[in-house]
Amino acid sequence: MSQPWPYPGARWWKFDFHTHTPASKDTSAWQAAIGTPVELTPQKWLLKYMAAGIDCVAVTDHNTGEWIDSLKAAYAQMKREADAGTPPDGFRELHLFPGVEISVQGGFHLLAIFDPSATSQTISDLLARVDYQGTRGDSDGVTRIGAAQVVERILAAGGLAIPAHVEGDKGLLQVEPGTRKCVMDANTVKAVLQEPGILALEWTASSSPVPMVLDELKLRFASVAGSDCHSFQGTAVPGSRYTWIKMARPSLVGLRLALLDGQEVSVKRSDESNGFAPFNTPEHFIESIEIRDARYMGRGRTSASLPLNPYFNALIGGRGTGKSTIVHALRLAYRREKELSSSSEAGQTFKRFNQVARSRNDEGGLRAETSLCVQVQRDGMPYRLIWRQDGQGHAVEEWDAATGSFKPSASQAVTEQRFPVRLFSQGQIAALAGDSQQALLKVIDDAASTQSQQAAFEEAKRAFLAARAQMRELDGKLQGREALTLALQDIQRKLARFEGADHAALLKNYQRTNRQSRELERQFEASAELATRLKALADDLLAEDLPEGLFDTVEDGPALSIVQALHAAIAKAQQDVERAANVLQERGQVLRGELEASPWLARIDAAKTAYEQLKADLQQQGVSDPSEYGRLVQEKQRLEIELKKLEALQKQHTELREKAKSLLEQVQSARRAISAQRSAFLQATLQGNPFVRIELIPYSRDAQSIERSLREVLGAAEGRYVDDLYQEQEGASPKGLVADLLGTVDLVEQPGVWDTAAFEQALLTQKKRLSQAGRGQAEFGGWFNKFLKAEADKRPEFIDHILCWFPEDGLQVEYSRKGDGRDFQSIGQASAGQRAAAMLAFLLAHGNEPLVLDQPEDDLDNHLIYGLVVQQIRSNKLRRQLIIVTHNPNIVVNGDAELIHVLDFNHQCHVKQTGSLQDQAMRREVCQVMEGGEEAFERRYQRLGKEA
**Domain residue ranges in the chain:** 11-272, 284-421+849-947, 451-472+654-812, 490-626
pLDDT tens per residue, range 442-456: 889 988 989 999 999
Average pLDDT of the segment spanning 504-513: 76
Distance CA 664, CA 467 (A): 10
Confidence check: pLDDT of 890 > 50: yes
Nearest-CA neighbor of 707 among 829, 575, 640, 807? 807
pLDDT value at position 223?
95
Nearest-CA neighbor of 904 among 894, 914, 896? 914
pLDDT tens per residue, range 335-389: 999 888 888 888 888 999 999 988 888 899 999 999 999 999 999 899 999 999 9
CB of 12 closer than 8 Å to CB of 277: no
Nearest-CA neighbor of 843 among 576, 575, 447? 447
pLDDT confidence band for 622 (50 / 70 / 90): low
Q: Residue type for 693, please?
A: R
Measure the N-to-C terminal CA separation of the chain; round to a whole number of Å: 27
Confidence check: pLDDT of 744 > 70: yes
Ordered DSSP codes for 759-779: HHHHHHHHHHHHHHHHTT---
Please report, rounded to a whole number, the percentage of residues in the chain having pLDDT higher than 90.
53
Nearest-CA neighbor of 601 among 660, 520, 657, 534? 520
Q: Residue type for 76, please?
A: A
Distance CA 200, CA 160 (A): 9
Range 612-633 burial, b when 16+ CB lie within 10 A, else e: eebbeebeeeebeebebbeebe
Range 732-752 burial, b when 16+ CB lie within 10 A, else e: eeebbbbbbbbebbeeebeee
Question: Which of the 8 DSSP states describes residue 865?
Answer: I
Ordered DSSP codes for 687-753: TT-SSEEEEEETT---HHHHHHHHHHHHTPPTTSSHHHH-EEETTEEEESHHHHHHHHHHTTPPTT-
pLDDT value at position 943?
40
- Whole-Å CA distances, 86 to 54, 91, 628, 670: 21, 10, 114, 66
7 C-beta neighbours (distance < 10 Å), count: 20
Average pLDDT of the segment spanning 744-752: 79
The values of phi and psi at residue 232, to 5°, are -100, 35
The values of phi and psi at residue 814, to 5°, are -130, 150
Q: Are strands 312-317 and 732-735 parallel, antiparallel or unpaired?
A: unpaired
Confidence check: pLDDT of 494 > 90: no
Ordered DSSP codes for 343-386: TSHHHHHHHHHSSB-SSTTS--SB-TT-EEEEEEEETTEEEEEE
Confidence check: pLDDT of 500 > 60: no
SS3 9: coil
Confidence check: pLDDT of 947 > 50: no
Range 669-679 burial, b when 16+ CB lie within 10 A, else e: ebbbbbbebbb
Confidence check: pLDDT of 942 > 60: no
pLDDT value at position 946?
36
- Whole-Å CA distances, 154 to 96, 159, 742: 18, 5, 74
Q: Residue type for 14, please?
A: K
Distance CA 26, CA 562 (A): 167
Average pLDDT of the segment spanning 781-797: 93
Average pLDDT of the segment spanning 502-527: 80
Distance CA 537, CA 661 (A): 86
How many Å separate Cα 693 from the centre of its chain? 23
Question: Which of the 8 DSSP states describes residue 443?
Answer: H
Confidence check: pLDDT of 497 > 70: no
Distance CA 814, CA 691 (A): 9
Predicted TM-score (pTM) of the model is: 0.76
Distance CA 204, CA 72 (A): 27
SS3 160: strand
CA atoms within 13 A on the CB side of 914: 14
778 C-beta neighbours (distance < 10 Å), count: 11
E strand or H helix that includes residue 264: none
Ordered DSSP codes for 48-102: HHHHTT-SEEEE--BT--TTHHHHHHHHHHHHHHHHTT-PPTT----EEEEEEEE
The values of phi and psi at residue 907, to 5°, are 75, -40
CB of 785 closer than 8 Å to CB of 779: yes
Nearest-CA neighbor of 260 among 224, 228, 227? 224
Average pLDDT of the segment spanning 191-195: 91
Nearest-CA neighbor of 66 among 122, 4, 145, 9? 122
- The domain over range 284-421+849-947 is classified in CATH as 3.30.930.10: no
Distance CA 830, CA 853 (A): 22
pLDDT tens per residue, range 700-742: 988 999 999 999 999 999 999 999 999 998 888 899 999 999 9
Q: Residue type for 187, please?
A: N
Least confident of 98-107, 856-865, 902-911: 856-865
Alpha helices by DSSP H, 481-556: 481-500, 503-540
CB of 854 closer than 8 Å to CB of 425: yes
Distance CA 846, CA 146 (A): 52
CA max distance for the chain: 186
Average pLDDT of the segment spanning 12-24: 97
pLDDT confidence band for 621 (50 / 70 / 90): low
CB of 798 closer than 8 Å to CB of 792: yes
How many Å separate Cα 205 from the centre of its chain? 45
Q: Residue type for 688, please?
A: G
Range 539-557 burial, b when 16+ CB lie within 10 A, else e: eeeeeeeeeeeeeeeeeee
Confidence check: pLDDT of 1 > 50: no
Sign of CA dihedral 40, 41, 45, 50: negative
Q: How buried is 580 (Cβ within 10 angstroms: 0-12 exposed, 13-18 middle, 19+ buried)?
A: middle
Tell which wins on pLDDT, 497 or 844: 844
Average pLDDT of the segment spanning 73-96: 96
CATH superfamily, with its number, for domain 11-272: Metal-dependent hydrolases (3.20.20.140)
Confidence check: pLDDT of 92 > 80: yes
Please report, rounded to a whole number, the percentage of residues in the chain having pLDDT higher than 70.
94
Confidence check: pLDDT of 944 > 50: no
Q: Which residues are paired to 251 by β-bridges?
A: none
Distance CA 696, CA 694 (A): 7
SS3 163: strand
Nearest-CA neighbor of 13 among 207, 272, 251, 220? 251
Least confident of 95-109, 904-918, 927-941: 927-941
Q: Are strands 882-885 and 851-854 parallel, antiparallel or unpaired?
A: parallel
Question: Which of the 8 DSSP states describes residue 211?
Answer: P
Q: How buried is 869 (Cβ within 10 angstroms: 0-12 exposed, 13-18 middle, 19+ buried)?
A: buried
How many Å separate Cα 780 from the centre of its chain? 43
No. of helices (H) and no. of strands (E), the chain: 30, 26
pLDDT tens per residue, range 805-852: 999 999 988 888 777 788 888 887 777 777 778 888 888 888 899 999
pLDDT tens per residue, range 584-613: 889 988 898 888 888 888 888 888 888 777
pLDDT confidence band for 632 (50 / 70 / 90): low
Distance CA 287, CA 304 (A): 14
Distance CA 715, CA 208 (A): 72
Confidence check: pLDDT of 767 > 90: yes
Range 318-349 burial, b when 16+ CB lie within 10 A, else e: eeebbbbbbbbbbbbbbbbeebbeeebebbeb
